Chains A and B, each alone.
Chain A
Amino acid sequence: MYWNKTIETMEHEQMQQLQAKRLRDVVEHMYQKVPFYRALMQQEGLLPQDIATLADISKLPFMTKQDMRDNYPYGLFAVPPSEIVRIHASSGTTGKATVVGYTKRDLGMWSEVMARSLTAAGVSKQSFVQISYGYGLFTGGLGLHYGAELVGASVIPVSSGNTARQISLMKDFGTTALACTPSYALHLAETMNEMGIDPKSTALKVGILGAEPWSDKMRNQIEASLNIRATDIYGLSEIIGPGVACECSQQQGLHINEDHFYPEIIDPLTGEVLADGQKGELVLTTITKEGMPMIRYRTRDLTVLDRSPCGCGRTLVRMSKVMGRSDDMLIIRGVNVFPSQIESVLLSLGETSPHYQLIVDRQGHLDTLTVMVEISEAMFSDEVRRLEMLERKIQTELASVLKITAKVRLVAAKTLERSEGKAKRVIDNRQI
């Protein structure tokens, strides 16, 4: 089953022609409308006409998350504000969020790629889709929502949280497709067991699971416990949100919607473009976006591209499940967390050189984050009350910046592990 057979089964040469034309358009659009990007091209001595073929893309500089912060909030918008119909954002490192804006056409494109993804995952008009991603500034909830509506499925917009209610709605409404993070899918199964409900007894057939990395081992666990087909969906708000790529029935990699998102794999250290089949960092160019196009955006996700024919008949290039990150970003309960965010919170509480360590664990099927903070003389007090207040203050600040709850533990000075003088910031004990 395809949503858009023409595109999804297009011959490679034809796809490249389409991509090349769209690339030229988006570069021209960015050069004309975004002063920041024009300056970036001028620094490289480039004019829009220098980008004629797909191969020319490697002449263009990369864009990064830092560019979004530097241009906060609207500096990268390529249309007048009146053309923007939706704004999403993710939490930022120093309190500043990374902001993305969509035009009406962008939202249409997003729904289209989501409809393709959902169809590939096995969702149809007959499906009841329960969306357990958070609705709001996070792109997960609304992205899935509009795609599922476009497919014509019956959408149940539960949003995240309240597991017992999720389960009773799932039973009562006859949910057949579940959209949430893979760890939450396992948590649902476990909670059903605790409630005396057989997780295999529901009407569920497929899971559209994303927003965090997961392994094939975890897929087997989810499929066995819920008796569903678990499909991986990939996306990032900087590019569009979920729907950049999605698995098909073959579960042999995620088809990238490359008529909208042109993929490259680079060596994260040198920036050099790598051949298909080589592992590296995924770089994406939004070749059709109007509101806020990104050109050669470094996703920091490590993967491999595969152009071999797929059993499903789609010709869209496939990326492997994300194998890791080329930076220190952590994904905890589907939320992106940078160690630098924690550092900035500690700094804002008056700490000059906070020594801290993050311990990430998976208890049951849910991630936990513990922030160990080395106590300094400035923080220390002879009164228990004051130290407990300090712990609570750090915890409250972290929750507001990270959007997830972290446990704070004060530890003795100079006790956290340092490797070669450099602090070892993260200990990730999760077996994913």
Chain B
Amino acid sequence: MIIQQISVFLENRTGTLAEVLATLHENNINIRAMSVAETADFGILRFIVNQPDKVEQVLRKAQFALRVTPVLTMILDDSPGSLLGRIEKLSTAGINIEYFYAFAVVGTERARIVLKVDALQEAEQLLGEFEEGQHREKEQETDFYW
């Protein structure tokens, strides 16, 4: 399933992450998933929220440099090997993963994955076929945000 991820530029100095989080908090936004990629000088905060349009407006108003990127998500069983099969499916098709992050929620027995790939539509289709092969139902967007 394809959903919208928001990324924000973070300068490498104390308090920059807190500034973004405070802005989200003031607007009562809950973050579903996030990761930070960092270099010596800067970081990129990437996250998933259930109201990306609103968050985009809020952060832009607060003058953050941001980008909205479509990314691929998966919900899978929190069990050994469940990720492997899906990733193999992508790599066999020659799809390159730019980055990904994952999180499991205690008590749900489900893990959630966010993937940035170079061939988004193709990857989504492949994973849909994979789910069908596993006789699993296609996930709904609302399931991801739970």
Contact = CB atoms under 8 A, between A and B. Distances in A.
A409 B5 CA distance: 25
Contact of B65 (A380, A383, A384): A380
Interface string B9-44: 111000010000000000000000000011101101
Interface in A243-276: none
Contact of A387 (B44, B63, B98): B44
Nearest to B46: A382
Contacts of B11: 410-412, 415
A376 interface: yes
A221 to B, nearest CB: 33
Contacts of B66: 377, 380
Nearest to A409: B41
A376 B60 CA distance: 11
B13 to A, nearest CB: 9
Contacts, number: 54
B9 A412 contact: yes
Contacts of B98: 383, 385
Interface in A6-33: none
B116 A382 contact: yes
Contacts of A387: 39, 42, 44
A413 B39 CA distance: 18
A198 interface: no
Interface residues of B, number: 22
A356 to B, nearest CB: 14
A385 B118 CA distance: 14
Contact of B37 (A377, A384, A411): A384
B67 A410 contact: no
A384 B9 contact: no
Given A383-B98, A384-B39, A413 B9 contact: yes
Nearest to B20: A412
Nearest to B37: A384
B64 interface: yes
A411 B9 CA distance: 8
Interface in A389-432: 409-415
Contacts of B63: 413-414
Contacts of A71: none
B7 interface: yes
B37 A410 contact: no
Contacts of A384: 37-39, 44
B69 interface: yes
A217 to B, nearest CB: 33
A376 B64 CA distance: 9
A385 B39 CA distance: 10
Contacts of B44: 381-384, 387
B99 interface: yes
A387 B37 CA distance: 11
18 contacts: A375-B65, A377-B66, A380-B66, A381-B44, A381-B67, A382-B44, A382-B46, A383-B44, A383-B116, A384-B37, A387-B42, A410-B9, A410-B11, A410-B41, A410-B42, A412-B9, A412-B11, A414-B63
Interface of B: 5, 7, 9-11, 16, 37-39, 41-42, 44, 46, 63-67, 69, 98-99, 116
The 7 closest A-B pairs by CB, nearest first: A382-B7, A413-B65, A412-B11, A380-B65, A414-B63, A375-B65, A384-B37
